[in-house]
Chains A and B, each alone.
Chain A
Amino acid sequence: MQTAGVSAPLEIRIDRKVFRSADGTPVTAIEGLRLTLETGGLTAVIGPSGCGKSTMLRILGGLDHAYEGRLDLPPDLRIGYVFQEPRLLPWRTVEANVRLVLRRQENADPTSLFESLGLSDMRQRFPTELSLGLARRVAIARALVIEPNLLLLDEPSTSLDETTAQRLRALILDIWTTRRTTTLLVTHNVREAIALATRLVLLAPRPSHVLADIPLALPQDQRDETWIEAKRSELIALYPGIVA
């Protein structure tokens, strides 16, 4: 397994991103957003809903080019994108969905990947047979099978019951701990961000920009409930209305 990613940091600069709303009026979603991602970190981007978190992710993932600004990305960057919805092909088995994103020359064997994600028994199932939690795991497997050096996670625990969400968080942490893939996690769940991330990036509401950049030095396995809760209260006091 390739553990390290690219060595150069990723520079994100979005000067302005404008949407057209349904009635045609322009809405500035992002303005003057600057973010540098150090290699190997697990950065959590938090902010109120509608603050342009997913938009930023789409721009970074190369899905949206209609913005002012520039991305400084290394040419060999391989992005593993985990969307908010699993976005699996319902007409392909779990295994075929994962293999789909492999290029022809890289005939990687995903067996160990399926094992580590607890999907070994699901390989021949179809996505329509899976629960949302399992489908998300398949989507994560699909992102990991290309050995990404940047992993993008868009609200991975949203719409899941708390137990399943907790298990998924543990899984994400496990993946990051073993691979040290540069990871960008977008979430509106502050506790989740505090529990997982090595760094918190707080986005302001529309037009979005970086409001605060908070490193979390304590290793994740030493963070307990009280620590997380204390950190959260601290953030609420500092940024009322943004952190809930």
Chain B
Amino acid sequence: MKLLASLFSAASFVAVWSIVALYAGSRLMPPPWTVVEIMLAEIASGDLPYHLMMTLGRVAAAFTAAMAIGSAIGLAMGRSRAVNGALDVWLVVLLNIPALVIIILAYVWFGLTEAAAVGAVALNKLPNVIVTIREGARALDPELDQMARAFRLDWKKRLFDIVLPQLQPYVAAAARSGLSLVWKIVLVVELLGRSNGIGFQLNLYFQLFDVATILAYALSFVVVMLAIEILILQPIETRANRWRVRTT
């Protein structure tokens, strides 16, 4: 039933697009089949896979950095009033700086380098991860913590057996919203200061006013991110939640 609904949803999207494109009859609103044609041609030429891989590499690097650093800071802020007080203003500032400003400043201060690009994206994502994980850290069960102390568990067991499983829903939420945020910002970073990647290609075809190719690139990227969500993120979550399912 759910699959049927999804199929219907996708089919109606293609149908609406086709009708609008046929009516418009314009180079600026190409129909789906033209876009798919170009997509296949770009794949065959190797251009699309190359730029896609560059972008995915940046997404992976920025995502990993933001999740790792953000989780550590969020955990520390959630567990310690002192740390929270010390970092709270920084967090608010970071939360409210527009992504574009961080990107521009990163490029101005550190040059048009790969590190500046990835760093700027990670920094944009960082405050969201911190806020989410901090909430999780505040909700940690004090009874399990007492149990860990009573049995003198070492820090590794406390972290991996007790703290992280409790944070898992928060980490999952941060990862979900994080991935979609990161890939959008990565395109901007590429557009402004990189010579490859999907964002760079979009900029190039924007200047040529080639809407069909722009759509081809955008669509292929969306497909890849969707595949990551369905094939990687969701199975991980199901696995992590298998103890929960049994209560019903």
Q: Which residues of A contact B (CB under 8 A)?
A: 58, 61-63, 79, 81, 83, 85, 87, 89-92, 100-101, 126, 128-129, 142, 146
Closest B-chain residue to A103, C-beta based?
Answer: B154
A residues within 8 A CB of B244? 90, 128
Report the minimum CB–CB distance from B201 to chain A (whole Å).
44
B residues within 8 A CB of A89? 144, 161-162, 165
Q: A62 near B247 (CB under 8 angstroms)?
A: no
B residues within 8 A CB of A129? 246-247
Given contacts A128-B244, A142-B151, 11 further A-B contacts (CB under 8 A): A58-B146, A62-B150, A81-B147, A81-B151, A83-B150, A85-B143, A89-B165, A91-B165, A92-B243, A100-B153, A128-B246
A87's contact among B147, B153, B161, B243, by CB below 8 Å, is which?
A: B147
Contacts A89-B162, A89-B165: A83 and B243 contacting too (C-beta < 8 A)?
A: no
Whole-angstrom CA separation of A129 from B144 in the bound complex: 18
Q: B157 near A100 (CB under 8 angstroms)?
A: yes
Interface positions, chain B 3-18, Cβ under 8 Å from A, are none
Q: Is B27 an interface residue (CB 8 A)?
A: no
Q: Which 4 A-B pairs have the closest CB atoms?
A: A81-B150, A101-B151, A91-B165, A87-B147
Q: B161 near A100 (CB under 8 angstroms)?
A: yes
A146's contact among B143, B151, B168, B243, by CB below 8 Å, is which?
A: B151
The number of residue pairs between A and B whose CB atoms lie closer than 8 Å in the complex comes to 47
Closest B-chain residue to A128, C-beta based?
Answer: B247
Report the minimum CB–CB distance from B140 to chain A (whole Å).
13
Q: Is B184 an interface residue (CB 8 A)?
A: no
A128's contact among B144, B150, B157, B243, by CB below 8 Å, is which?
A: B243
Most interface-central of B143, B150, B168, B246 (chain A CB within 10 A)? B150
Report the minimum CB–CB distance from A243 to chain B (whole Å).
29
Q: Is B176 an interface residue (CB 8 A)?
A: no
Report the minimum CB–CB distance from B153 to chain A (whole Å).
7
A residues within 8 A CB of B247? 128-129
A residues within 8 A CB of B161? 89, 92, 100
B residues within 8 A CB of A61? 150
Q: B153 near A101 (CB under 8 angstroms)?
A: yes
Whole-angstrom CA separation of A90 from B144 in the bound complex: 10
Whole-angstrom CA separation of A240 from B30 in the bound complex: 92
Per-residue CB contact flags for chain B residues 124-163 toward chain A (1 = under 8 Å, else 0) read 0000000000000000000110110111010001000110
A residues within 8 A CB of B157? 100
A residues within 8 A CB of B168? 91
Q: B246 near A87 (CB under 8 angstroms)?
A: no
- 24 pairs of residues in contact across A and B, judged by CB atoms under 8 Å: A58-B146, A61-B150, A62-B149, A63-B146, A79-B150, A81-B147, A83-B143, A83-B147, A87-B144, A87-B146, A89-B144, A90-B243, A90-B244, A92-B161, A92-B243, A100-B151, A100-B153, A101-B151, A101-B153, A126-B243, A126-B246, A128-B244, A142-B151, A146-B151
Most interface-central of B161, B168, B243, B246 (chain A CB within 10 A)? B243
Report the minimum CB–CB distance from B73 to chain A (whole Å).
24
B residues within 8 A CB of A101? 151, 153
B residues within 8 A CB of A128? 243-244, 246-247
Closest A-chain residue to B151, C-beta based?
Answer: A101
